[in-house]
Amino acid sequence: MAKVLVLYYSAYGHIETMAYAVAEGAKSAGADVTVKRVPELVPEDVAKASHFKVDQAAGIATPDELADYDAIIFGAGTRFGTVASQMRNFVDQTGGLWMKGALVGKVGSVFTSSATQHGGQESTILGFIPTLMHQGMVVVGLPYAFQGQMGLEEVKGGSPYGASTITGGDGARQPSEVELEAARYQGAHVAKIAAKLSA
């Protein structure tokens, strides 16, 4: 049984919802799944005034614990075409793991969100992949075997690089069913590959 960590940052709850869908998918593939989040960097009063979702149930992760898992699926929203600074700050603290080669051979995968359809989802995931490769991780995306990312019948996130959702400029749009299906598929896909690699 592969041990999978779904590690996320979510300001408004969209990525939190996606994270639990990713976890569902990984569990469906037989993985032992933990969902955690990275620390918030915004002061609490500012977060509340900005309507951040401050009641998230997931525990806070520490960088050193990443070595305890066979796969890590990272999720964070897009900020101007790159990953949110809260996730970047957390990952920048993994130098000790890099020095020990503690993540070499483990599976790494990424999902994201943006306000608009072309708001940097692909650049965010593609920009995060070099970090995974520097850590020696095996990068897994969302293959076109997940047919939900095909077709033009609705506006939707998702690409071969990873699952994603579109929030709308005011954050009112929640992940659609096809976007949640993509997240579940990615979670299951990662868990299956991690189980093979860790066997």
Indicate the annotated binding residues for FMN.
10-15, 78-80, 134
- Cα dihedral across residues 152, 153, 154, 156: positive or negative: negative
Euclidean distance between the first and final Cα of the chain, in Å? 8
DSSP 148-191: GG--SSS----BTTB-EEE--TTS-PPPPHHHHHHHHHHHHHHH
Which residues belong to the annotated binding site for substrate?
A: 98
Question: Cβ(6)–Cβ(73) under 8 Å?
Answer: yes
DSSP state of 140: -
Which residues belong to the annotated binding site?
A: 10-15, 78-80, 98, 134
Q: CA separation (Å) from 36 to 8, 23, 68, 80, 109? A: 7, 11, 13, 24, 15
Which residues belong to the annotated binding site for NAD(+)?
A: 12
